[in-house]
Amino acid sequence: MGRVTGRAIAVVVGLALSVTACTSSAGEPDASVRSTEDAPGGDASTPSGDGEGGQMRPGDLDVDEPIRPTDDISVMGGAGGPNSADDVMLAAAVSVQEFWVRAFPDTYGTDFEEVDGGFWTYGPDTPRGSLPPCEGIQSYDDVAQNAFYCPDGDLIAWDSEALVAPHIDEFGEFGAAIIMAHEMGHAVQARTGDFDTLPGVIAELQADCFAGAWIADVVDGGSDDFEADIEELDLAVAGQISIRDDPGFDPDDPAAHGSGFDRVSGLADGIFEGTDRCAGYAEEPPVVTEAAFDPEDAASGGDLSPDDLLELLLPDLEDFYTALFASEGQEWDPVDDVIFFDPSTDDVRCGSSRLTEAEAEFAIFYCGADDTVQVDGAGLVPALQEIGDFAVGAEVARQWAFAAQARNGLTENSRESSLNADCLTGLYAGDLFLGSDLREGGVLSLSPGDLDEAIISFLAVDGDDEQSGSAFERSDAFRIGFLGDLAQCDALLE
C-alpha cells in the first residue's frame, strides 16, 4: 500500500484477515508462577508427544555436542513444521540456555546457573501425579493452555497439546520457541532477584525483551537448531499479538502481561538493543500502554463507528500536521479532499490514471496529482473496522504521512518512504496517547487496544515487503515514531 503520484499508481493492497484472532488472558496457575496466556483455539495437527507428561532434560550443555531432543530433528522455523511440539520446546531449551551461558556473564557479571528442575511437558490427559511439581497445581485445569516458570522447583513447563502444538500450527516452530525464551527469561529473573521485585507487567515485558535478545542471536546464526528470517519475525509479531492481554485489562493486575503493542515493543527492545536494555528495565522500565477501560470505553469496546471516527480524525490530522510543520518552520498545505469510493460502481482515478475494479478493491492511497486521499469505503473500511477503529485510523493517518512527504518533495514509492510513513503514523499515535510539545491536544484520544489494532492491520495487509516493508519492520517503524520524534522518523529515509 502507498500513495499515487502523478505518473504511477502506488501498490494497491488486499486484506488477509486470518491473523487477527486474539484470545483472552488465562491468568496465573499460582501467584508465584510466571506464565504464558492461552494459545489460539483449534485442533492441533502437529504431533505433541504421548500426553503422559513428565520431566525432560536437554542434556549437559558443557559437552562439545549438546544432546538433541531426537536424532533426526530438523532445523526449525515456519508454521506446521515437521518436529513434535516437545522436540521444539526441548530444542529451544537447549538453544536459549546456550545463549544465556554466553550472555549472562557480560550482562550481570556472574556465570549463568542452568535450570535445575528440568523441563516438564503435560496435556489434558496427564495424570495428576505427573503434572509439573509446582506449588499450587492441583489439576490440569490449573495450568491448561499455559507455559510457565516455577521458582519453587526452578523448572519450566508447557502444555504440549493445547498450547504449543496449536501455536506451531499458527505461528511456526520458531514462534513456539519464543515461548520457551520468554519463560527462560523468568528463570533469568530468578537468578538476578528481579523475579520477586519487578511489578508483574514489567517482569513479563522484561521476559519478552530477553526473548528478543535470543531472537537476535538466532538471526545472527547463534543457534544450531533454529533459524529466522523476516517471515519468522513476522510470525513472532503475530504470536505476541495472539497472547496479549484482552483490551481493557488492568496493567496493575498480577496476571497482566501487557498489550500486544507492549509485548511487541519488549521483543524489539531485546532484538535491537540486547540484554543490557532488558536488564535496565529494573531501573528504567518501558512505557506501558496497557490500560483499563473507563466506563464509556467499556460500553463500546473502545471503538467508534467509521463515520464518527472519520468526522473527528480528518480535521485532527490536519491540526497535527499543521503543528508538526510549524515546529520545523514550515507551513502545512491542507490535503485537498478525501474520497471514499465503491470499486464496483465508481470510476476511480488519480490524475490521468484509472484504476481497474480489481486494482481499486481494498485500496487506499494518496494521489499526488490531485492532492487527495482515496479509500475503498465499501470493502477496505469495513474490513479494517473488524479489527478495530484504529486499524481504520492508522491506515488513513498513513496517507497524511505520504501527503507530508510530497510537500517536502519526496514523491517516490520505496521501502524507506513506506517505513517513514509508518513512523510518522506512530508519531501521530504518540501525540494522541502520550501528548507532545506540538499542540495542546487533539480532539481524539486512544482507547485500550487501539495500538494493537494498528499492529494487527500491518499483519492483515498483504503488501509487497520489498516496497512497503514486512509486518515486523512496519511495526518497529510505528513503535519508533510512537516513542520517538520526527528526527528518528526522518532517519528511516537515509
Amino acid 294: pLDDT: 80
Indicate if the pLDDT at residue 201 is higher than 80: yes
213 half-sphere exposure, CB direction, 13 A CA radius: 26
Amino acid 19: pLDDT: 24
Amino acid 53: pLDDT: 60
pLDDT (tens digit per residue) in 131-151:
888 988 999 999 999 999 999
67 half-sphere exposure, CB direction, 13 A CA radius: 7
Long-range contacts of 324-331 (CB under 8 A, 24+ apart): 324/404, 324/427, 324/438, 324/486, 325/404, 325/407, 327/437, 327/438, 327/486, 328/486, 330/407
Q: Which residues contact 253 (CB under 8 A, 6 or more apart)?
A: 200
The chain-wide mean pLDDT, for the chain, equals 83
Residue 252 banded pLDDT, cuts 50, 70, 90: confident
The answer to whether 163 and 38 have CB atoms below 8 angstroms apart is yes
Residue 227 banded pLDDT, cuts 50, 70, 90: confident
The whole-angstrom distance between residue 184's C-alpha and the CA centroid of its chain comes to 19
Residue 245 banded pLDDT, cuts 50, 70, 90: confident
Find the Cα–Cα–Cα–Cα dihedral 340, 471, 44, 267, rounded to 10°: -130
Alpha helix (H) residue ranges in 292-340: 295-300, 306-327
Q: CA-to-CA distance for 383 and 366, rounded, in angstroms?
A: 19
Q: Which residues contact 240 (CB under 8 A, 6 or more apart)?
A: 178, 208, 260, 263, 264, 267
Residue 3 banded pLDDT, cuts 50, 70, 90: very low
Q: CA-to-CA distance for 430 and 451, rounded, in angstroms?
A: 10
Least confident of 17-31, 72-86, 253-267, 354-368: 17-31
429 grid coordinates: 499515535
Query: 470499486: which residue's cell?
Result: 343
Beta-strand runs (E) in 127-268: 147-150, 155-159
Indicate if the pLDDT at residue 98 is higher than 90: yes
Amino acid 4: pLDDT: 37
Residue 363 banded pLDDT, cuts 50, 70, 90: very high
